[in-house]
Amino acid sequence: MPNAIALLKNDHTTVRTLLGQLDAAATPRDRERLANRIADALEEHSAVEEEIFYPAYRAAAGTREDDEIYFKSREEHEVVGQVVDDLLHSDPRGASFAGRARVLRHLVEEHASEEERSLFPRAEQLRGEQRLRELGDEIERRKQSAGQEQQARPQGRRQEPPLRPRGEARDRGGECARSGSRFAIPFCGSIICRW
């Protein structure tokens, strides 16, 4: 049975490699292909962490510091998810794509190293070898069933239109774009910006 932490570290290595390849990719086609692979890998990895590994860590967590590590990791997934969405909706020939790819690489690097530095060692302390192997087993089963599902409906996710405009909406100008908000609503002489 594999240890959960070894599996998660493996995921980190895979994504790091893909992000390195993305940075060096020469053609828009390669960039698009790599961005899709990265999105899939990150989605699968975040899902097993959030649904299996983090809850097990949190259940054993005792200190305030443990809680903070837990919340920070979850929040980082959120931020990474946002950049991935933006990346998938950018033209791989454009400068936006390149900039977003760079930002994503940095974020993932930071998140993965921090996890390897603080959350994983702490999880090892809190959960013994036996429990980590059980969790590893659970992670593998979950990945297998997710893989089968994905084969059943290929490319399903990316055919869907974006839920809400991101990024580009901020280029509309006006007070709201200036202050970092996404939409402007004029309201009796004032401007209300919506996040």
Partner 1 sequence: MNAAGLLERDHVRIRRILRDLDETRGPDERARLFDLAEDALLVHSAIEEDLFYPEVRAAAASEEGDEVYIKSREEHKLVDVVMPPLRLIDVRSAVFAAKSRLVRQLVEHHIGEEEKYMLPLAREVLSEQRLNAIGARMRRSADRLHGKVILAAQSRAFDCDRDGCRIVGPGFMLLSGLGC
Tokens of 110: 């930071």
Closest CA to 49 of 8, 17, 79, 19: 8
Applying CB under 8 A, does 110 fall inside the site for partner 1? yes
Which amino acid belongs to residue 126?
A: L
3-state secondary structure of 25: coil
CA 21 to chain centre: 18
Q: Is 83 in the site for partner 1 (CB under 8 A)?
A: yes
**Judged by CB, which is closer to partner 1: 95, or 152?**
95
**In a 10 Å sphere around its CB, with 0-12 CB exposed, 13-18 middle and 19+ buried, how is residue 84 labelled?**
buried
- Is 96 a residue that touches partner 1 (CB under 8 A)? yes
Closest distance of CB 52 from partner 1, Å: 16
Question: In the complex with partner 1, which residue's Cβ is closer, 14 or 70?
Answer: 70
CB of 27 to partner 1, least distance (A): 16
When computed from its CA atoms, the radius of gyration of the chain, rounded to whole angstroms, is 19
| Smallest distance, partner 1 to C-beta of residue 72, A | 4
Measured CA angle at 119 (ends 101, 126), to 5 deg = 160
Nearer to partner 1, 33 or 72 (CB): 72
Tokens of 142: 């979950």
Binding piece for partner 1, criterion CB under 8 A, among 11-19, 90-98, 119-127, 135-143? 90-98
Name which of 156, 166, 120 is nearest 43 in CA terms: 156
Confirm or reject binding of residue 82 to partner 1 (CB under 8 A): yes
Closest separation in Å from C-beta 112 to partner 1: 14
Q: Which residues bind partner 1 (CB under 8 A)?
A: 64, 67-72, 74-76, 78-79, 82-83, 86, 95-96, 98-100, 102-103, 106-107, 110, 167, 170, 175-181, 185, 187-195
